[in-house]
Chains A and B, each alone.
Chain A
Amino acid sequence: MTSLRHQPLAHLALAARREPPVADAGVTLRALPYRPSIILRGESGDAGFVAAFRAGMGFELPLDPNRISSHDGVTALWLGPSEWLILGAMGPAGQGRLATALTGHHHAIINNGDGQQIIALSGPRARDVLGKLCPLDLESPDLAPGHCARSILARCSILLHPQPDGAYHIHVGRSFADYAWRLLADAGLTYGVAVASGD
């Protein structure tokens, strides 16, 4: 059965604009396909909660601000001292496994549904384009891969997730996806923008 899930950027007809990576494009924009994710709430200071997560998921929940940890296709991003984004393998089975692991500990698992769109910004000038729109110090070691940060892109709230290859994954609320995409495409014009396949 065809999925009826509406992609937040469907109206831009990005598929029709996909081009092979251009040699002189400074940045490449890519709308990533939907992936299930959840918000996990719980207290960093609750040793039982932290230990239960480790026992159930096989890796440590990041307790230091703006850090990321991952294991076996699941990634946990620190959003606040009592809040994490869990990416990857968070369909019904994954959520069930997490809920079972945390049973008896004060927590909340909130399904993000398809409320978020991830835009991947890559290429040699990715940092320059992002720097036009975001007040973060992008050269800081606090934004090396393994870190993440919530901030703003012009006037909309984002979660910035730097990738090991120098690209950035930018998470925006789905109703801001159009705004964020058009801003990034405009900011990249100076360097040349390529649109890549979403997969």
Chain B
Amino acid sequence: MLLLSCPWCGDRSEQEFACGGEAHIVRPLAPEDLDDRAWGDYVFMRRNEKGLHFERWRHVHGCGRWFNVARNTVTHEILAIYQVGDDRPELPE
């Protein structure tokens, strides 16, 4: 069980959250200009990293807000928690 620190509510159990998958996927500005492969990449293709992963979480049974988490998918270590819209944080190696 993870202990996630909601940017508003503080430390809460993983049970209160829903994971929203990979973060920083930007919707194409002109989707009508994309071919099927590029659109498919946007909709379906994910990095599925082993190790450092930037992902979205929502405090669904709490304040209801979305935020971003940098998590190591091997150790489950939470490396950073930051707001939606912020750039990926600098993390020490």
Contact = CB atoms under 8 A, between A and B. Distances in A.
Contact of A152 (B11, B61, B63, B65): B61
A66 interface: yes
Contacts of A150: 61-63
Nearest to B62: A150
Interface of B: 8-13, 15-16, 60-65
Interface residues of A, number: 15
B10 A65 contact: yes
Contacts of A137: 11
B62 A151 contact: yes
Nearest to B8: A65
A149 B9 contact: yes
A137 B64 CA distance: 19
A150 B9 CA distance: 9
Nearest to A154: B15
Interface stretch (A50-58, A76-84, A93-101): A76-84
Contact of A81 (B10, B13, B60, B65): B65
B62 A135 contact: no
Interface of A: 65-66, 79-81, 83, 135-137, 142, 149-152, 157
A151 B16 contact: yes
A135 B10 contact: no
A151 B65 contact: no
A139 B51 CA distance: 35
B61 A83 contact: no
A65 B9 contact: yes
Contact of B9 (A66, A135, A152): A66
Contacts of A66: 9
A25 B60 CA distance: 35
Nearest to B64: A80
B50 to A, nearest CB: 29
Nearest to A137: B11
A65 B11 CA distance: 12
A135 B13 contact: yes
Contacts of B8: 65, 80-81
Contacts of A135: 12-13, 15-16
B64 A152 contact: no
A79 B8 CA distance: 10
A149 B64 contact: no
- For the complex of A and B, list the 8 residue pairs with the smallest distance between their C-beta atoms, beginning with the closest: A135-B13, A80-B63, A65-B8, A157-B61, A152-B61, A150-B62, A80-B64, A135-B15
Given A65-B63, A79-B64, A151-B12, 11 more contacts: A65-B8, A80-B65, A81-B65, A83-B63, A83-B64, A135-B13, A135-B16, A136-B13, A150-B61, A151-B62, A152-B16
Contacts of A152: 15-16, 61
